[in-house]
Structure 1
Amino acid sequence: MEDPITRFYKCRKTCCEMLEDRGYVITPREKLENFATFKEQFEENEKLRSRMTIITSHKNDESNKIIVYFADETKKTGVKPLRELTEKMDEKSIQRAILVTQNTLTPFARDAIKEAAPRHIIENFLDTELLVNITKHELVPRHIPLTSDEKRNLLQRYKIKENKLPRIQDVDPVCRYFGLAKGQVKKKKKKKKKKEGKGCYNGRKNSFSPYTVALLIICFIPHLHHIFCTPSCSISQVVKIIRPSETAGRYVTYRLVV
């Protein structure tokens, strides 16, 4: 069985990478990339995970803060760590948080997270979900969340409406990694061997027939949870996904998070 300190080190390292990919600033001191340095600091904090908290701001907005809180409980996590977390959030004027637990949440804790929103937006990850960075796996395509302007340009470029985009659920592991909310679109790309492909919805620069849309969904939705539906979203979010291809090279698709 893996050493608990090594396990926590990997988990915290992935958290730092996840924050950077979301656009937050992580200093070398916060990263603690050197295992010996991490272990020394962890032992100085009496091996309490809750004392290894990460607090940082977004690179484009210092007021946009986030906190990563590591719960000490080895069994199911109840409302006590949540209470401690929300107190820290109020103290530091932080709205968004990531709660990392070693075990699942109790039903009361899950309800508490729902009730805390929108004042406190809390995401929950298990240690086992953060031991490796899922976005670095060779089978996972590159995901690029689009800004509001990029999303608007995308829809104008292909003369389509938001409800014509294929869907992906917000519980998808990569969507959770980027903290994508319902209504966000992502773009998929495939790497070409001979020439670079263009970012596209179906490989064409025109509008799409129902047949084309259906064919795209059948060919490029690898999992059943990537469904095609039309939810109502107040804030639409789009993501670009880059996929490698043995024949076509690099291919780009877009997904709306639901």
Structure 2
Amino acid sequence: MEEQGLDEMMQDLNAVPACISAMIDTGSVESHRYFLARRTVLEMLRDRGHAVPDDEIQRTLADFRSWWETKPEFDNLTISYPLISDSSKKISELLVNITKHVLKPHHQVLTPEEKGELLLQYKVEDSQIPRMLEKDAVARYYGLQKGTVVKVTYEGELTGSHVTYRCVV
């Protein structure tokens, strides 16, 4: 009886319309994890100012799997894009982009000029700005150095929109 039930399920699965069956992921879990990790790394590199083409980030899982094939070559594992502001610097090798999480406030890295204006406007020094540790997840994501100031914008139903600043220590 169990065998008959299995046969019926297989017939039902084979009868699934093409539009729905296209949404069923039949690939390996490992390739899906590599796909997600690679996309997150590419987004992170772009957020850090590297010249990552849109088509690399928008690559679909099916395209990734056909490009990745069954056994990846070392060249496919390497990620190397020039820094837009300094093309001589490259980052290579690194499943979730933390800056896109719905509960994470928006972080904007201030330029040295914007930092100077902020310090003048509020008549404060670096040490008087609330701190963000260099090992904080957002600081690590952006590759922030000590002394960098980040504008943090919170959006909430109860608190509304408000801005704070953090200095990396």
Q: Could you say which TM-score interval applies, normalised by the shorter chain?
A: 0.7 to 0.9
The unaligned stretches of length 5 or more in structure 1 are 70-99, 101-130, 184-236
Aligned to 1:207: none
Equivalence map 1:107-146=2 (5 Å): 131-146=95-110
Q: Please give the root-mean-square deviation of Cα atoms over the aligned residues, in Å.
A: 1.9
Instruction: Select 2:116's aligned residue among 152, 155, 173.
Output: 152
How far the C-alpha of 1:50 sits from its partner, in A, is: 5.9
Q: Under a length normalisation based on structure 2, what TM-score does the superposition of the two structures give?
A: 0.76
Which residue of structure 1 aligns with residue 65 of structure 2? 39
Q: Deviations over 1:38-76 (max 9, x none)?
A: 1112127x324663211111223323x22222xxxxxxx
Match of 1:26 among 30, 34, 52: 52
Match of 1:9 among 35, 42, 45: 35
Cα distance between partner residues in 1 of 2:137 and 2:74: 24
Query: Is the aligned partner of 1:255 residue 2:161?
Result: no
Correspondence 1:178 to 2:157: no
Higher fraction of strand: 1
Instruction: Report if the CA contact (8 A) 1:134-1:140 is conserved.
Output: yes
- The letter of the residue matching 1:53 is T
Deviation track 1:79-137 (CA, whole Å, cap 9, x = no partner) reads: xxxxxxxxxxxxxxxxxxxxx3xxxxxxxxxxxxxxxxxxxxxxxxxxxxxx1111111
- Describe the SS at the equivalent of 1:16: helix
Partner of 2:78: 53
Aligned AA (1:177): Y
Identity %: 41
Say whether the 8 Å CA contact 1:42–1:52 is kept in structure 2.
Answer: no
Per-residue Cα deviation, 1:14-55 (whole angstroms, up to 9, x for no partner): 0111111112111145336211221112127x3246632111
SS of the counterpart of 2:151?
A: strand
Whole-angstrom distance in 1 between the partners of 2:74 and 2:138: 25
Matches within 5 A, 1:64-75: 65-69=89-93
Equivalent pair of 1:32/1:38 in contact (CA under 8 Å): no
Alignment match, 1:115: none
The alpha-carbon deviation at position 256 of structure 1 amounts to 0.8
Quote the Cα distance in structure 2 between the aligned partners of 1:143 and 1:32. 23
Counterpart of 2:154? 243
Q: Normalised by the size of structure 1, how large is the TM-score?
A: 0.51
CA-CA distance at 1:257 after TM superposition: 0.8
Q: Paired residues, what number?
A: 142
Deviation readout 1:153-197 (Å, 9 max, x if unpaired):
0000111111111111111111111111122xxxxxxxxxxxxxx
